[in-house]
Amino acid sequence: MTKLIEAEHVFRYYGAYCAVYDLSFSLAKGQVLGFLGVNGAGKTTTMQLLCGLLAPSSGQILINGYNILSQPILAKQSLGYLPDTPPLYRDLTVSEFLRYCAQLHDIPAKQCHAAVRSVLERCGLSAVNHKLIAQLSKGFQQRVGIAQAIIHNPALIILDEPSVGLDPIQIQEIHTLIKELGQDHGVILSTHRLSEVHASCTDVQIIHDGKLILQHNSAQLATIMNTEKLCLRTRLAIDPALLTTITDINDITVINAQQLEIKYHSNANPTPKITEQLIAAGVDILELSPIKKSMEELFIELIKENSQ
Amino acid sequence: MKALIIAQHEFKTLFLSPLAWSLLGVLQFIFAYLFLTQIENFMRVQPQLAFIEHAPSLTDIIVPPLFGNAGIILLLLCPILTMSVICQERRTKTFALLLSAPLSSTDIIVGKYLGISFLLMVITSGISLMPLSLALSGTIDLGKLVCNDLALSLLVGAFAAVGVFCSTLAPHPVLAAILSFSFLLLLWIMDWSTALKDQGNEVIKYLSLVRHFQNLQTGLIHSADLGYFLLFIASFLWLSIRCLDYQRLQK
């Protein structure tokens, strides 16, 4: 099966400044790739390179098997792109705009109407169908932006910061939509919000100063994020001495009278033993949960490692 | 044909803003005023014309000056009409839609150009309608009118091509307007300097827009004049396409 994206040793310079340095990755159908980075890390440049808005200084990019530079029209046929600022004509109504997008993407005139209607439904835009885009709220405009990226049912969807400026409910809806799209398309999603990657991506890449510093799938990511610590909270004050008999436990930190932080040996989660012991001792457990390294911590750690 | 889809969209959006409507209204008013002045002129000289052999006809007195003046007025207005055609899209970031769609640079430029040209055609046909109305009560040399219409259409077509190129080149719409206006004006007045000397520079004379326009206005369709305008338009569109491709590589 041909990969949707194959990027090989891609460099991009703006004058002497290197925005993207030796970027190589691939993406297959069914993957939702989260592209993470701080502002100015090279996310948008990468997206623009993938969509043929910019040409790489060296290296090559294949979209669905076609080179984006030498066969741009064939490559772009399997591409849907939402830039960081949604490209909307404010003087048009939502359905007029989507119709124009459908025409630009080679949808035959007869199927345009059906394509517009289905995408309106999919993005929850049916109610604002006849409104001018200029009159829509930011959230709805963002949805129109997503609608224009998926109207021609492209194999590959590239979304550059799709959830910027949206409220939490709208963000939730977009995550649901992205997950849905990820089932039968390849999706790339750039963001600087780690929770977003956690919510909707199968793979994650972190880019910093134009270089990829992490490439993982979600299972690998979960391992990295494991801190080998448990948090224990009880109703009444607890004596840490109760747990010292369990050999898997490395260290116990008292956070307050009712809360402990327990560090354990890797590959030996002591949760069942702890519960057994505490119940036998008649302690009421309120909470016993693994502490995960937050994506934020991981992110900061990686960036620190790389800038040293 | 993708260019036609873009052209149709461009033409439609022009009429969604007040720009096209106000332009059409104001221009028609000015042209009507010019037209009436020419009629006035004709009425004044009509008694004397009766005694002259091979006297200029009604068409000769009214049509070429009207179309000549229209050419100058459109020279002023065309840069304003074309200034935002690519430049504004780039500034409002809507250009990404066209760049990421399966379109070539040729489709984009030709589409944009045709969209603007359709509007200019509406304006020129508005001008032609006025002399045509004289046919109701007098005789009009239709051939000459058609020639003048053709000359003006080619002229504004050339203006638009320069305008599209400047809009592709410039980072700001006003700059695009200034660029295209200065360039067009230069081409327009180019043969003034040659007129001062006894023997003007033939090359400069040949490049001047005005000479080819006036040749066509006389009713003489010379392939050299047609070729000049078509080549002019084609080269500026080609330059715009190259410019767009180049920007994609560098930026």
Q: What angle do CA B130, B131, B133 make, to 5 degrees?
A: 70
Classify A266 as helix, strand or coil: coil
- Tell me the pLDDT tens digit for each residue of A130-176: 999 999 988 889 889 999 999 999 999 999 988 877 788 888 888 88
pLDDT at A6 over 60: yes
- Tell me the pLDDT tens digit for each residue of A140-153: 898 899 999 999 99
- Tell me the pLDDT tens digit for each residue of A176-200: 888 888 888 899 988 877 777 777 8
- Tell me the pLDDT tens digit for each residue of A27-61: 888 889 988 888 888 888 899 999 988 888 889 99
**Residue in A14, A73, A87 closest to B97 by CB:** A87
- Tell me the pLDDT tens digit for each residue of A249-305: 878 888 888 888 888 877 777 888 888 888 888 888 888 888 877 767 777 777 777
**Residue in A77, A87, A88 closest to B102 by CB:** A77
Q: Which of A215-224, B12-21, B202-211 has the highest mean pLDDT?
A: B12-21
Exposure on the CB side of residue A120, measured as CA atoms within 13 A: 21
Which residues of chain A neighbour B93 with C-beta distances below 8 Å?
Answer: 83, 85, 87
Nearest CA of chain A to the CA of B103: how many Å? 6
B25-29 average pLDDT score: 93
Q: What rounded mean pLDDT belongs to chain B?
A: 89
Nearest CA of chain A to the CA of B60: how many Å? 44
Chain A residues bordering chain B (beta-carbon distance below 8 Å): 14, 51-55, 72-74, 76-77, 79, 81, 83, 85, 87-89, 91-92, 100-101, 103-106, 148
Residue A94: pLDDT band by 50, 70, 90 thresholds?
very high
Partner residues linked to A129 by β-bridges: none
Q: List Cβ<8 Å contacts ≥24 apart for B90-95.
A: B90/B171, B91/B172, B91/B173, B93/A83, B93/A85, B93/A87, B94/A87, B94/A88, B94/A89, B95/A87
Put simply, whether the predicted model's pTM sits higher than 0.90 gets the answer no
B179-183 average pLDDT score: 94
Residues A42, A48, A53, A54: what is their CA dihedral angle, to the nearest 10 degrees? 30
| Closest to A123 in 3D by CA, of A115, A134, A113 | A115
Q: Is B96's CB within 8 Å of A88's CB?
A: no
- Measure Cα distances from A130 to A40, A135, B198 in Å: 37, 11, 66
- Measure Cα distances from A257 to A236, A244, A276, A286, B240 in Å: 8, 17, 20, 13, 74
What chain B residue is nearest to A15 in terms of C-alpha separation?
B250
Q: Is A73's CB within 8 Å of B96's CB?
A: no
CA distance B216 to B226: 8
Q: What rounded mean pLDDT belongs to chain A?
A: 85
Which residues of chain A neighbour B103 with C-beta distances below 8 Å?
Answer: 73, 76, 104
State the first-to-last Cα distance of chain B, in angstroms, to the nearest integer. Answer: 28
In degrees and rounded to multiples of 5, residue A80 shows phi and psi of: -125, 130
pLDDT at B78 over 60: yes
What chain B residue is nearest to A13 in terms of C-alpha separation?
B250
Which residues of chain B neighbour A106 with C-beta distances below 8 Å?
Answer: 102
pLDDT at A308 over 80: no
Judged by average pLDDT, the poorest of A92-101, A138-147, B153-162, B242-251 is B242-251
* Domains of chain A with CATH codes: 5-223 (3.40.50.300), 227-292 (3.30.70.1560)
Per-residue model confidence (pLDDT) at position A237: 81
Which residues of chain A neighbour B246 with C-beta distances below 8 Å?
Answer: none
In degrees and rounded to multiples of 5, residue A259 shows phi and psi of: -135, 130
Classify A290 as helix, strand or coil: strand
